[in-house]
């Protein structure tokens, strides 16, 4: 990554393809003005005067040093880069100062900014541009409370590390008031049986007349089969290959297929690959010209470009392995299917509008929650925990919708007020015709006499 530029409002940070993106012309009306301040951060007001443990002398290089610690985890790296990039661009263009000069008050302003970013910070609706495209923007819309909380957690980690390493003097986020996240008591982002059937019907009804259409349908069916039957996160799917499948025999000598992955938090786990999942894998592999079953440590990605097929080659010639699909590409495919399914639901009439909107709100992660909810009907929670990679059974228990439904039915049957059972002729509980005569109030001298005669005194 090259050094920050201070002579132009149109290019403040020039970086490589994996680094921090430049503000470009989208910020030409920003507060950054040539010559007003060294925006590189060399003379930032929060810079430490003591020795530092990194060679970086400007903010962008210091951030890159922090990001380099996560280079072995593409998902974490992308999340951290996104938040660091947003803050750096906001610091340069909105606050008009380097990141190393940000104060506690600046971070409060940034927190409010995340609730509703200015229009010029937001991507075109329904379109995601590559990060170095002129029409790229840092946001796709306002952030939710959870997203803002997560952004501040990431930035707090970054600032803390920059302080520990000797680049910054203090962490301007350390005094920001933080509210604890409310404990989730149930999973709501999943598809019920009826909506799930609409999704499957939509996939099975995709056109398959041309070779391209057949390849598209085969890949879509495999994507949904893999995400649902394995319960994998989308980041895990794009990070692994078909060589992560392996077969071993159980105690009875029955061959069992497994999927060996490294998931969230760099935790390894084994996912049972059911016969149905292996059948879907075989169908997909055959559709692109591969053998039905994978070899252990095979480098073929789990998801392939739709136009890719095994090229004709002579015996023994090395095959070129295609790049795996990106997370955003898989996300787009899934959203397109949900949109088509939503249209099918809407066609049923006005009463189905809410269900259609629920499908439009769904994402790849909903398939994981749908899988967990289905498994919780009949599978031991410990098996679900280990398959989905949960750290605690408390997380897995959120999928127990069936138990919640049973509890609801039990309370419904056994806990009633019964207004309708009250006789219409009765206007209230029966009372005696002659109420008890109220006792007269004791005179003060009687009270004193009783008090003095008490054995306690």
Q: In this predicted structure, what is the pLDDT of residue 23?
A: 44
Mean pLDDT of 102-110: 94
CB-CB contact of 139 with 86 (8 Å): yes
| The pLDDT of residue 392 is above 80 | no
DSSP string, 268-281: EEEEEE-HHHHHHH
Mean pLDDT of 105-129: 86
pLDDT > 90: what percent of the chain?
46
Each domain of the chain, given as residue ranges in start order, spans: 24-164, 193-310+324-401
Q: Which of 49-63, 92-106, 142-156, 417-431 has the lowest mean pLDDT?
A: 417-431
CA distance 310 to 304: 11
| The pLDDT of residue 31 is above 70 | no
Residues counted in the chain? 457
> Could you read off the pLDDT of 318-363 as tens digits, one per residue?
788 888 888 889 999 999 999 999 999 999 998 999 999 999 989 8
- 269 has which bridge partners? 261
CA distance 285 to 302: 10
Q: In this predicted structure, what is the pLDDT of residue 38?
A: 78
CA distance 384 to 313: 43
Mean pLDDT of 113-135: 82
| The pLDDT of residue 419 is above 70 | yes
> Could you read off the pLDDT of 40-52 as tens digits, one per residue?
899 999 999 999 9
> Could you read off the pLDDT of 261-288 as tens digits, one per residue?
998 878 889 888 999 999 999 999 999 9
CATH 1.10.443.10 fits 193-310+324-401, yes or no: yes
| The pLDDT of residue 240 is above 80 | yes
pTM of the model: 0.63
């Amino acid at each position: 990554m090259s050094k920050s530029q201070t002579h132009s409002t149109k290019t403040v940070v020039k970086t490589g393809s994996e680094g921090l993106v430049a503000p470009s012309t989208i910020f030409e009306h920003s507060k950054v003005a040539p010559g007003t301040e060294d925006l590189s951060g060399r003379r930032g007001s929060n810079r430490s005067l003591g020795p530092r443990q990194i060679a970086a002398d400007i903010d962008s290089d210091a951030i890159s040093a922090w990001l380099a610690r996560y280079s072995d985890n593409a998902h974490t790296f992308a999340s951290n880069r996104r938040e660091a990039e947003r803050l750096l661009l906001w610091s340069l263009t909105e606050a008009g100062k380097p990141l190393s000069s940000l104060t506690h008050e600046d971070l409060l302003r940034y927190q409010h900014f995340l609730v509703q970013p200015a229009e010029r910070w937001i991507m075109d609706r329904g379109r995601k541009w590559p990060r170095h495209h002129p029409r790229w923007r840092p946001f796709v819309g306002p952030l939710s409370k959870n997203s803002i909380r997560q952004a501040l957690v990431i930035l707090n980690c970054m600032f803390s590390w920059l302080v520990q390493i000797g680049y910054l003097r203090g962490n301007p986020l350390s005094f920001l008031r933080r509210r604890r996240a409310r404990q989730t008591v149930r999973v709501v982002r999943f598809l019920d049986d009826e909506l799930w059937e609409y999704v499957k019907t939509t996939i099975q009804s995709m056109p398959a007349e041309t070779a391209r259409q057949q390849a598209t349908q085969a890949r879509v069916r495999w994507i949904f089969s893999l995400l649902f039957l394995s319960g994998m996160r989308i980041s895990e799917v794009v990070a692994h290959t078909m060589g992560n499948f392996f077969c071993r025999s159980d105690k009875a000598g029955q061959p069992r297929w497994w999927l060996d992955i490294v998931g969230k938090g760099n935790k390894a786990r084994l996912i049972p690959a059911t016969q149905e999942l292996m059948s879907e894998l075989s169908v997909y592999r055959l559709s692109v010209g591969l053998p039905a079953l994978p070899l252990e440590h095979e480098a073929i990605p789990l998801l392939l470009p739709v136009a890719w097929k095994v090229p004709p080659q002579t015996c023994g010639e090395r095959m070129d392995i295609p790049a795996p699909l990106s997370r955003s590409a898989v996300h787009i495919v899934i959203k397109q299917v949900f949109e088509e399914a939503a249209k099918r639901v809407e066609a049923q009439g006005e009463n189905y509008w809410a269900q259609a909107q629920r499908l439009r709100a769904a994402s790849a992660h909903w398939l994981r929650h749908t899988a967990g909810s289905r498994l919780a009907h009949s599978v031991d929670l410990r098996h679900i925990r280990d398959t989905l990679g949960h750290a605690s059974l408390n997380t897995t228990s959120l999928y127990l919708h069936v138990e919640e439904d049973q509890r609801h039915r039990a309370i419904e049957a056994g806990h009633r007020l019964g207004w309708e059972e009250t006789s219409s002729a009765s206007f209230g509980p029966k009372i005696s015709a002659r109420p008890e005569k109220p006792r007269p109030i004791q005179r003060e001298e009687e009270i004193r006499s009783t008090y003095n005669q008490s054995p306690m005194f």
